[in-house]
Structures are given as C-alpha cells and as structure tokens.
Amino acid sequence: MSRKVVVDGGRERYLQNISVGSHRYHADEPFDAGGRDAGPDPYELLLAALGSCVSITLRMYADRKQWPLEAVRVELSWARVHMADCADCDNGFEMTDGIEMELSLVGDLSESQRERLMNIANKCPVHRTLSSPIKIREREVHR
C-alpha cells in the first residue's frame, strides 16, 4: 500500500522538505536556477523513481526466474526535445519531454535473458504510469 508523500516549502527560497512515512528528503533547484542545490530537483526525483522501479522490477523478475543477474545499473537523463528531433511526436507542440534510460545488466545471462529483461524494464509500474495519461486532481485545504 502506498504511503502519503508530504512536501512542505517555506521561506528558504526553493528548498522543499519531503516526508514519506519515517523517511525524510529534500528537493531544491540547482544554484544556476536560483536554488541552493540542497537536494535533487523535481525532475531528478522523477528520474530516481523511474530508475528505482526499473531496477527493482528487474531484480524481482530475475529472482523469480532464478536467472544469474548480479547487478543492475540504470542511468537516466531528462531533456526538452525539439519536435523536429522527435520522429514519432505529432501532438502539435514544438517541444516535448524526453527521458533517456541506459541499462547495464551484470551477470552470466544469455542473450535471450538479456532481451527479456530489457523488455520487462519498459513494463515496470512507474514506466507504465509515466507512459499513460495521468489525471491529477488538486484541491486546496485549509489547515
């Protein structure tokens, strides 16, 4: 079951205090965007969520299949891509979001096992969520 994520921002410019259960994190903007670089920026947190989900999903799958997967490394980056650079983009916008994901699979895996793991990487829950239409409902609450 998912725990509630709480984000509190105060007077310290862009610094955000994040709590998830008993865990505490910070988010901020880098120096060049006016922040203090006291934590990852929001897009870096999004990439961390995706990379974590991919790695965990591959570990679960390999363990269930008893495959010799020793380690997974996921490197991600986010960028705004000009539509001319995006062959399959036809949404009418000049720019679109793009995520690049590189996976390194360590272990004595066959080529078919590697191919299957790469396919499974695109099916982790966070990847599927980011690839689907998402409805975000917001409302103001008074405390």
Look at the chain and count its residues. Answer: 143
Q: Whole-model pTM? A: 0.84
Q: What is the number of H-type helices and E-type strands within the chain?
A: 3, 5
Residues in the chain predicted with pLDDT less than 70, given as ranges, are 1, 81-95
Q: Which CATH class is domain 41-130?
A: alpha beta
pLDDT score for 126? 96
CA gap 54, 75 in Å, rounded:
11
**CA–CA separation, 64 and 138 (whole Å):** 39
Which pLDDT tens digit goes with each residue over 39-50?
A: 999 999 999 999
What are the residue ranges spanned by the domains of the chain?
Answer: 1-39, 41-130
